[in-house]
Structure 1
């Protein structure tokens, strides 16, 4: 009786409509007047979507006017639009995690399953792998990605995606290091820039002169059969000509959980995830404030029509809070 009927699932996950406010939100904690000048303590925390298993990798894609983010275990790339509707952009991903936007407006992705950096992809076409090996050996499981002002693609490569079956598939690492890499699309050169215990999030400041990278080896303790490392911190580097890194230095750490992913705004402030919400730091390492959330945060990104909305991927939620400036 099903002959001729289309049984394929649809792509719509949320219909257009206003966002809900998070009930019981106790408000923004402002520890510095600079934060109070652009973020009201009474600003509502908005729930844009609920339904991911582990939301990750939010990025604002200007050319489509949408927020793109990953639901890693559900193997979906999702899109939120200003009218409130949410749709599946790519179904059956290879455990996509981090995403970034290139200068032409297209997307690049971290894939745990195929252990690669890929480019593009939409409803009908699969993303194309562009980085798969380093010096003849497979990279581990790229986690987060950022595009530098010069167009080079930087990514972190820990082992989380090859030791956690719900995030990828079990495999032995071929490389004996966990590193940050720089890929030059124009030449095809892949360069190892710095080593870590387990590099995770990364982001540049607006001018591309400072690179921040988090090391979250502490989270290995959540994986059966693995021992927790000591790292739950963000370090900073100066970025020189050709992407050369120097002046490696401690920037901050989180007291609750670890700094999975983060965003750097146009002021140079760093907005980092933690187990209890978003913590905000100035470029001179001063704690400015805190946004509590109802679930563990994995990552965040600025976007919206005016760039003043902070989108927050927090486990099952996509949340948002709006700034004055």
Structure 2
């Protein structure tokens, strides 16, 4: 059996083992992988290991540091899964078409539920607390992804995928005048922090918390829509300023986002995980067999990158640690 670089035990997904999981990056090498800057990030010969396969549309990977496990969402199957040294199993079913997940500083799991159009938190006793489901008295669109700031505030995106895309929620008319980025204060107060985006999606802070990155994925619903990663200055931990385009794609969209400790930005893209320098220079790609939606760092040392690529979850050991 192959050992997963981010888990203590063997990979136990039966389908993956039967198919053979030792997929070498060289088998999916692209010209971007030859760029010298990528050598500091990943060994070109590093194996891409398959932890789970057979899903429908997988997103929302989140590393549980206390449980040494990965939690992720199979959005269209309406379940959340968990993989650890013992194997792969169902974590929550039904999941309310859960999408983005993350853990807060106290180890509580935060989840964007597309079907119920809310952001929830699972408490230590298993109880579910609703953090946000309405803004100014009207239902949210379809919370998609989220991240936690150093002060404990939860920032999340609210596009319309869950109310428009089949099997990702329940079709409905939007009650909001736009698709916004929100902040949930530790007090519980909900504020809109960015109101001029087409389809905000992935969201992550820079390592110092001074910059917020948000993927703009309007191109997924209309050919001429935006396909960008936007960057904002974070002002006093509560507001955004100096909006600018950090990166732009010619095709596909940048979906889920992650950052490493050096400030490099990673995004799920059609070819795998695209990587950019803190200055916005495209460094290369960590390729996956199928289009990659979401990514997350994990493992005991933070050097494992988990990639949700369409119907499978892969893992690869990197040379650089990420922000968990």
TM-score (norm 2): 0.88
Q: Residue 51 of structure 1: CA displacement? A: 1.4
Unaligned runs of 5+ in 1: 1-12, 222-227
Is residue 48 of structure 2 the alignment partner of residue 53 of structure 1? no
Contact 1:214–1:259 (CA under 8 A) maintained in structure 2: yes
Q: Deviations over 1:41-74 (max 9, x none)?
A: 1111111111111110111110111111100011
Aligned to 1:79, the other structure's residue is in SS state strand
1:198-230 CA distance string (max 9 Å, x none): 111111111111100011111114xxxxxx442
Q: Give the alignment of 1:99-110 within 5 angstroms.
A: 99-110=101-112
Sort the Cα spacing of 1:232 and 1:17 in 2 relative to 1 into closer, same or farther, 3 A.
closer
Q: Deviations over 1:172-209 (max 9, x none)?
A: 11111110000013x22111001211111111111111
**8 Å Cα contact 2:16-2:50 kept in structure 1:** no
How does 1:33-112 map onto structure 2 within 5 Å?
Answer: 33-81=36-84, 83=85, 85-112=87-114
- Aligned equivalents of 2:145 and 2:87: distance in 1? 26
CA distance in 1, matches of 2:29, 2:194: 38
Q: Call closer, same or farther: CA 1:108–1:310 in 2, change over 3 Å.
A: same
Partner of 1:192: 192
- Counterpart of 1:26 in structure 2 is 28
| Offset at residue 305 of structure 1 (A) | 1.0
Whether contact under 8 Å (1:153, 1:183) holds in the other structure is yes
Q: Is the 8 A contact 1:27 1:43 kept in 2?
A: no
1:58-207 to 2 correspondences below 5 Å: 58-81=61-84, 83=85, 85-120=87-122, 125=126, 127-185=128-186, 187-195=187-195, 196-207=197-208
**Which of 204, 227, 247 is residue 232 of structure 1 equivalent to?**
227
Match of 1:6 in 2: none
TM-score calculated relative to the size of structure 1: 0.88
Structure-2 residue corresponding to 1:14: 13
2:293: which partner in 1?
298
Asked whether the equivalents of residues 149 and 207 of structure 1 are also in contact (C-alpha less than 8 Å), the reply is: no
Deviation of residue 93 (structure 1)?
A: 1.0
Tell me the residue number matched to 1:270: 265
Q: Structure 2: 5+ residue runs without aligned partners? A: 1-11
> Aligned-pair distance for 1:38?
3.3
Query: Hey, what's the Cα distance between the residues in 2 that align with 1:126 and 1:72?
Result: 21
Total equivalences in the alignment: 304
Change (3 A) 1:102 1:288: same
In 2, are the aligned partners of 1:31 and 1:288 still within 8 Å (CA)?
no
Structure 1 residues 216 and 143, CA gap change in structure 2 (3 angstroms): same
**Map of 1:242-261 to 2, 5 A cutoff?**
242-261=237-256
String of CA shifts for 1:138-189, please: whole Å, max 9, x gaps: 111000011111110000001110012310001111111110000013x221
Is the CA contact (8 Å cut-off) linking 1:280 and 1:289 kept in structure 2? yes
Q: How far has the Cα of 1:324 moved from its partner?
A: 2.2
The aligned counterpart of 1:224 is: none
TM-fit CA distance, 1:323: 1.1
Greater Rg, structure 1 or structure 2?
1
The aligned counterpart of 2:5 is: none
Name the SS for the 1:64 alignment partner: coil
Compared with structure 1, are the counterparts of its residues 16 and 31 closer, same or farther at alpha carbon in structure 2 (3 Å cutoff)?
closer
> What is the root-mean-square deviation of aligned Cα atoms in Å?
2.1
